Structure 1
Amino acid sequence: MDNFKKRRMENNEMKEERNNFMIISVLMLLLSLFFLFYLGNSLYHMKQMMWNQNLIEHIE
């Protein structure tokens, strides 16, 4: 009986560690997606601004 309780407690600790790891990995994934979106958006705007500048120079 005592051995069974001990094993069950160890199992619960392993589950908690796995849950923490999953939570951390999901948060990191969301963070990286946000950074990719932000970076892509800023690069796109830079490209648009450069293209508009070229267009203005071409018209003048």
Structure 2
Amino acid sequence: MSIWVYNTASNKKEEFIPREKGVVSAYVCGITPYSYAHIGNARPPLVWDVIRRFLR
């Protein structure tokens, strides 16, 4: 099964190919600490959790 992602650098959809077979990693920064917490702060961790579960 191929996974296609949108590459903002090339403005094209490209097939996702991991650097190391069977291993996928991503950098995900934490919450924005400069204001009060709100429901929007939960979106990034939730999205990355869904992606992680999909890739398993």
Q: Normalising by structure 1, what TM-score?
A: 0.30
Q: TM-score, normalised by structure 2?
A: 0.32
Counting strand residues as a fraction of each chain, which structure ranks higher? Answer: 2
